[in-house]
Structure 1
Amino acid sequence: MDENQDLCYEYSVTNNKVTRIINNELLCPDHEEADTKIAFVFCQQNEDSTITVRISDTDIVVIMLANMEHLQARVEVWMDLGVGNARRYIDVSALYKKLGSKVSKTLPALHAFTGCDFNPALYRRGKKKPLQLLMNSEIFQEAFLDLGSKEHNVQDSFNIIQSFTCHLYGLKKLDDVNQARIVIFNRTYKVKDKSQPFSLSVRNYDACNLPPCESELLQQVLRTRFIACLWCNAQNAKITDLLPTDYGWKIVDGKYKMIWFAGDQLPKAYEDVVITPDILEDTPESDTQSEDEIEPEEEDDSTDEDDD
C-alpha cells in the first residue's frame, strides 16, 4: 500500500522478471491500519497458497484468527514474529483449527478489552488469566462475541462484562465492579478490632490494584466494541459505519482523546461515600483473592507499535 492508501500494488514473476500492476480489487481506503489491510488482502485470495507475514506484535494474529472463516481459497497462514533467539513462526491456520470458530471470533474483543494500542490495559491482569476465564465460560464467550457484532447494544452485555472483570480481580461471586472496589479496598483498611477503631495499622496501597469503576468500565467497553468491530470486519473493504466519538473517544484540538469516565469525578455529598456494614459483609474472605495470591503477568506485546 502506498502512503495515501489509494493504490495497491501486486507483484509477480514472469519470465524471470518482476512485474508490478495496480490491483483495484484490493483497494481498501476505508482501512486506516496496516493490520486490517493485511487480513483484507488474505481474504481476497482466490488461489490455494501458503502466505507468511512478518509482524511486530500480536494484533494481526488476533485479527486474522477472527477472519479465517472468510478466506475464499485454501490459504495456509503463517506469522513471522520476534527477532534473534526469540524469533518464531506461528501457524495461524493450525491455531484456528484448535481454538474453533467461536473462540477465535471472541479474541478481538478480549484483546481490545484487556489492553491494546488503542485501549488501556487493566493493571496486572495480563492476557493469560482473561483468556483462561473466557475459555472456561460459554457466557463470557457469548458476551465478547456480541461486542464484535454489528448490531449489538453494549448495555445488553455490560453486566456480564462486569462479572468477567470481578472474576479477573478474584471476586468470583460478584457482578458489580463498584462493589468489588469496596471489597478489595476494605481488605486493607477494615478495622478488625472494633474496640480499637483508631489503632488501624495500614500499609501503602496502590489504587491501580482496584478494578475500574462502573463509569470507567463502560467507556472501556465502548472502545472495545468499536475496536472489535473494526477487527472482526477486516474482510470487508468498508470496515465500519461506527463513529469513534460514539464509543469512548472525543475530539480535542483535532485529535481523538479517550473519555475516561462520564459524570462527576467526586461525590457531591458525604452520604454518597458512607459505607454501610451490609455492603462490607456481603462477600466473605474465602470468596476473594488477595493481591499476593495473584501472580503478575509478564508484560505482553499489546503496547508494541503496529507493523506498517
Structure 2
Amino acid sequence: MISASNVWMQHGVGNNLKTMNFNQLYSKLGQWLCTALPGFHAFTGCDYNPALFRKGNKRPFHVLMASREYQEAFEKLADLKANRYENVLKQIEQFVCRFYSLKKINEVNGARFTLFQNTYNFKNTSDYFRFTKKKFDGSSLPPCRAELKKHLLRAAYISNIRRNALKKIATELIIFIEQWMVESRWTPRNDENAGPEADVDVTDEGDKLGEDAEASLNDIEDDDNDLSDDRENESLDEF
C-alpha cells in the first residue's frame, strides 16, 4: 500500500459520482485479498483479456474471498516466471472448478467431461429416445487445460504491468520467453523423429503432375496425327 494518509478515487458520472476511500477498503478486505485483486481482475475478464463465457466476477470473487490458497495463487500471478507457472496453474484449475460448482474435481478437463456427462447421462434405456430433445451449449463448459494455460499467461503479463505501474519499467517479462512467440508455419510438428524428408513439397508435386498431364496430351495428339496420315495413305493407295 502506498505510504500516504489517505488515497481516494472518484468513480461514476453525474448524480452517480461517488468517492471511494482506498485506505478503508484495504483495511476491510485485508492484505492477502488486495494483493490478489490485480491477478484476479486480469484473469476473470478485463479490457485486455476475455472473461469466461457467462461467468461474471461475483461468483468467482466469493470463491476467492473464502480461500487463502487461491488468494496466494493470484498474488503469485503478478510475479509469475516462465518456469514457475505449473504450480499456479494447478491452483487456478481448482479455482475454476469451484466456481463452476464442482467441489470434488480439480482438473478442468475432467470438469468439462463431468458437465457434459451430466446432460447426456441416461438412467435407463428409455431415456435414449429423449436424446434429441436435449440441447447442450458447448460454450458453457470451462476452458480446457491448454486454453487455460494461455489465458493464465496473458493474465500474468497484464497483472504484472498493473502491479508495477509506479515503477520506471512496468514489467520485465519478455513476451517471447512467456510463450507468446509468433511462428510462421502450416501445422505444429509434434513428431520429433520426423525429418525434412517427411515434408511434401506441394509445388514440386503440382509441377510434376502438370508435366505428366501435358506429356499425355502430346502423346494423344501424336497418335491422332499418325492415324490421320495412315488414312490418307490408304486413300491414295485405292486410287
TM over 0.5: yes
Which residue number in structure 2 is paired with residue 197 of structure 1? 128
Distance 1:243 1:235 in 2: 19
Which residue number in structure 1 is paired with residue 165 of structure 2? 234
Inter-CA distance 233–194: structure 2 relative to 1 (3 Å threshold): same
Secondary structure of 1:93's match? helix
Instruction: Say which of 110, 116, 140 aligns to 1:209.
Output: 140
Distance 1:150 1:129 in 2: 25
Post-superposition Cα deviations, 1:22-73, rounded to whole Å, max 9, x if no partner, equal: xxxxxxxxxxxxxxxxxxxxxxxxxxxxxxxxxxxxxxxxxxxxxx2xx24x
Which of the pair has the greater relative contact order for Cα pairs under 8 Å at 6+ separation? 1
Unmatched runs of 5 consecutive residues or more in structure 2:
191-239
Distance 1:183 1:126 in 2: 22
User: What amino acid is aligned across from residue 165 of structure 2 in structure 1?
Assistant: A
Distance 1:150 1:188 in 2: 37
The Cα shift of 1:75 comes to: 3.9
Instruction: Say which of 115, 132, 135 aligns to 2:45.
Output: 115
Matched, 1:142 2:63: no
The Cα shift of 1:148 comes to: 1.4
Matched, 1:85 2:15: yes
Matched, 1:183 2:114: yes
Q: Normalised by the size of structure 1, how large is the TM-score?
A: 0.55
Matches within 5 A, 1:217-296: 217-247=148-178, 249=180
4+ residue runs over 6 A deviation: none
The Cα shift of 1:244 comes to: 2.8
Post-superposition Cα deviations, 1:261-296, rounded to whole Å, max 9, x if no partner, equal: x999xxxxxxxxxxxxxxxxxxxxxxxxxxxxxxxx
Distance 2:30 2:126 in 1: 58
Which residue number in structure 2 is paired with residue 130 of structure 1? 60
The Cα shift of 1:245 comes to: 3.8
Distance 2:189 2:147 in 1: 10
Decide which structure has greater strand share. Answer: 1
Which residue number in structure 1 is paired with residue 217 of structure 2? none
Q: Is contact 2:80-2:156 (8 Å) kept?
A: no
Post-superposition Cα deviations, 1:148-194, rounded to whole Å, max 9, x if no partner, equal: 12557111211111010000111011101011111111122222222
Distance 2:46 2:181 in 1: 18
Unmatched runs of 5 consecutive residues or more in structure 1:
1-67, 254-261, 265-308
Post-superposition Cα deviations, 1:64-123, rounded to whole Å, max 9, x if no partner, equal: xxxx2xx24x24211111113332211112111111222111001111110011111011
Q: Is contact 1:233-1:239 (8 Å) kept?
A: yes
Distance 1:86 1:102 in 2: 30
Which residue number in structure 2 is paired with residue 285 of structure 1? none
Post-superposition Cα deviations, 1:201-235, rounded to whole Å, max 9, x if no partner, equal: 43332222100011110111111111121122223
Q: Is contact 2:32-2:68 (8 Å) kept?
A: no
Decide which structure has greater helix share. Answer: 2
Q: Is contact 2:109-2:144 (8 Å) kept?
A: yes
User: What amino acid is aligned across from residue 102 of structure 2 in structure 1?
Assistant: L
RMSD (CA atoms): 2.5
Matched, 1:76 2:14: no
Matched, 1:105 2:35: yes
Distance 2:105 2:49 in 1: 24
The Cα shift of 1:195 comes to: 5.0
Which residue number in structure 1 is paired with residue 97 of structure 2? 166
